[in-house]
């Protein structure tokens, strides 16, 4: 669990307010990029406190925008702050903050989805995975459009111990739509329980810190925003490759309102599907009449471990794709229908 830190170690010189920066550089949130600005520095301070003690830490802020959270991070007394901003319009305002904190800020104009995080921090900060988390933090008010693909990418990095996690169990404090935040932290039986719940909780301790009302942002989004803190676990709860876990979990939740049996059978080709599904569920000791959201982490662990054994015995299972099989059936059906129509026309 994140230990709230104190935000008072470093004082920035007098600067234009975030609102004045927006006016000065004529910045306007772009709807197609899901941009929403947070201007209240009390709230940005509160977000930064969820990251824990940042004095002399190295921090990467994702999508700093006009720099509200950036100010709070600098005020926490960090040693180095890396800003990764995709939108070039925000760079001049961020450079103003960089000049106000000499030697502390590095600005990268780039896309966080493609940026190489393995070279983002000094090598001396590396820690063994079993040790306490390194003095490295990732913080960001993420655009809604990028938040889910980004956290899935980083969870895969956690699984492989690469990307920003090559330095150890790097902690993350990120914003999501409230509904996504509830999915990330949902327990078995909760209606919000989803693929995200399993993929995040089997790799990290996930804490839904607090909710920011939508009206605090400019422009006001239609939903509230959750601040979520992630600390990678020393030992994952499911010790299987990320791709295998994701395939099993995605299949289970494919029909979330039906019995879990219905989703699990999509792991297998049509020929022998019923027999293999029964074999998997019996060996994993999972009640086939449970709904996907009722399954516990131990249920998913058993399913993944058993599916792995079945894949080892028959490697073609892992590359099998249920949706591709449906697409091929549809193409075959359309082709057959077209041929029948041609024959009828000729007759």
CATH number (domain holding residue 311): 1.10.8.100
> Does residue 115 sit within a domain?
yes
> Does residue 6 sit within a domain?
no
Given 232, 265, 282, the domain boundary residue is: 232
Range of the structural domain that residue 204 is part of? 18-232
Residues 208 and 321 in one domain: no
Binding site, residues?
36, 38, 63, 85, 111, 141
Residue 112, class by beta-carbon neighbours within 10 Å (0-12 exposed, 13-18 middle, 19+ buried)? buried
> Does residue 157 sit within a domain?
yes
Q: Tokens standing for 24?
A: 């000065």
Answer left, alpha or beta for residue 331, where phi above 0 means left and psi between -120 and 50 means alpha.
Answer: alpha
Mean pLDDT of 64-78: 95
pLDDT range class, residue 7, cuts 50, 70, 90 = very low
> Does residue 197 sit within a domain?
yes
Higher pLDDT, 71 or 6: 71
Cβ distance 108 to 88 under 8 Å?
no
Q: How far is it, in rounded angstroms, from Cα 51 to Cα 174? A: 9
Mean pLDDT of 166-185: 98
Residues 107 and 166 in one domain: yes
Residues 94 and 205 in one domain: yes
Residues 314 and 197 in one domain: no
- What does the pLDDT read at residue 131? 98
Q: Tokens standing for 330?
A: 């549809």
Q: How far is it, in rounded angstroms, from Cα 164 to Cα 142? A: 17
Strands 225-232 and 171-177: what pairing?
antiparallel
Q: Name the most confidently modeled range: 24-38, 40-54, 332-346.
A: 40-54
Binding site for S-adenosyl-L-methionine, residues?
36, 38, 63, 85, 111, 141
What are φ and ψ of residue 38, in 5° steps?
Answer: -110, 110
> Does residue 332 sit within a domain?
no
Given 232, 261, 283, the domain boundary residue is: 232
Residues above pLDDT 70, as percent of the chain: 90
Residues 207 and 249 in one domain: no
pLDDT above 50: residue 258: yes
pLDDT tens for residues 304-344? 999 999 999 999 999 999 988 878 777 765 666 655 565 66
Angle at 252 between CA 312 and CA 273, to 5 degrees: 55
> Does residue 3 sit within a domain?
no
Residues 107 and 249 in one domain: no
- What does the pLDDT read at residue 6? 47
Given 197, 232, 267, the domain boundary residue is: 232
Residues 212 and 315 in one domain: no
Residues 298 and 200 in one domain: no
pLDDT range class, residue 14, cuts 50, 70, 90 = confident
- What does the pLDDT read at residue 237? 98
pLDDT tens for residues 269-294? 999 999 999 999 999 999 999 999 99
Residues 50 and 163 in one domain: yes
Cβ distance 292 to 265 under 8 Å?
no
Residues 28 and 177 in one domain: yes
Residues 193 and 90 in one domain: yes
- How far, in Å, are 147, 194, 195, 288 from residue 295 at the CA level? 25, 10, 11, 10
From 79-88, 194-203, 217-226, the region with the lowest mean pLDDT: 217-226
pLDDT range class, residue 168, cuts 50, 70, 90 = very high
- What does the pLDDT read at residue 220? 87
Residues 260 and 119 in one domain: no
- What does the pLDDT read at residue 328? 78
> Does residue 11 sit within a domain?
no
- What does the pLDDT read at residue 320? 95
Domain count, the chain: 2
Q: At 111, is the secondary structure helix, strand, or coil? A: coil
pLDDT above 60: residue 243: yes
- How far, in Å, are 2, 63, 129, 183, 297 from residue 84 at the CA level? 23, 6, 25, 27, 35
Distance of alpha carbon 24 from its chain centroid, rounded?
33
User: Where residue 88 sits, what CATH number does that domain have?
Assistant: 3.40.50.150
> Does residue 9 sit within a domain?
no
* pTM of the model as a whole: 0.90
Angle at 76 between CA 74 and CA 80, to 5 degrees: 50
Helix (H) or strand (E) holding 232: strand 225-232
């Amino acid at each position: 669990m994140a230990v709230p830190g104190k935000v008072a170690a470093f004082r920035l010189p007098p600067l234009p307010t975030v609102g004045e920066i927006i006016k000065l550089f004529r910045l306007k949130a772009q709807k197609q990029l899901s941009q929403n600005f947070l201007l209240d520095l009390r709230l940005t301070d509160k977000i930064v406190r969820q990251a824990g003690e940042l004095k002399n830490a190295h921090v990467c802020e994702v999508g700093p925008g006009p720099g509200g959270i950036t100010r709070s991070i600098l005020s926490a007394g960090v040693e180095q702050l890396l800003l990764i901003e995709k939108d070039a319009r925000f760079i001049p305002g961020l450079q103003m903050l960089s000049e106000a904190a000499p030697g502390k800020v590095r600005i990268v104009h780039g896309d966080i989805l493609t940026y190489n995080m393995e070279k983002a921090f000094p090598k001396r900060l590396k820690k063994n995975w079993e040790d306490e988390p390194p003095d490295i933090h990732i913080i960001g008010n993420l655009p809604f459009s990028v938040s889910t693909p980004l956290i899935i990418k980083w969870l895969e990095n956690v699984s492989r111990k690469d990307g920003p996690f090559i330095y150890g169990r790097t902690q993350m404090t990120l914003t999501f739509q409230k509904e996504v935040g509830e999915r990330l932290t949902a327990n078995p039986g909760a209606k919000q329980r989803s693929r995200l719940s399993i993929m995040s909780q089997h790799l990290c301790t996930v804490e839904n810190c607090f909710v920011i009302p939508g009206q605090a942002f400019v422009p006001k989004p239609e939903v509230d925003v959750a601040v979520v803190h992630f600390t990678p676990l020393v030992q994952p709860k499911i010790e299987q490759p990320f791709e295998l876990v994701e395939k099993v979990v995605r299949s289970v939740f494919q029909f979330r309102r039906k019995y879990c049996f219905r989703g699990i059978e999509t792991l297998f080709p049509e020929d022998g599907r019923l027999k293999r599904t029964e074999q998997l569920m019996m060996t994993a000791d999972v009640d086939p009449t449970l709904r996907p959201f009722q399954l516990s982490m131990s249920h998913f662990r058993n399913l993944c471990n058993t599916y792995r054994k079945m894949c080892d015995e028959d490697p073609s299972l892992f590359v099998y794709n249920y949706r591709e099989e449906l697409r091929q059936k549809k193409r075959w059906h359309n082709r057959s229908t077209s041929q029948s129509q041609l024959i009828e026309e000729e007759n």
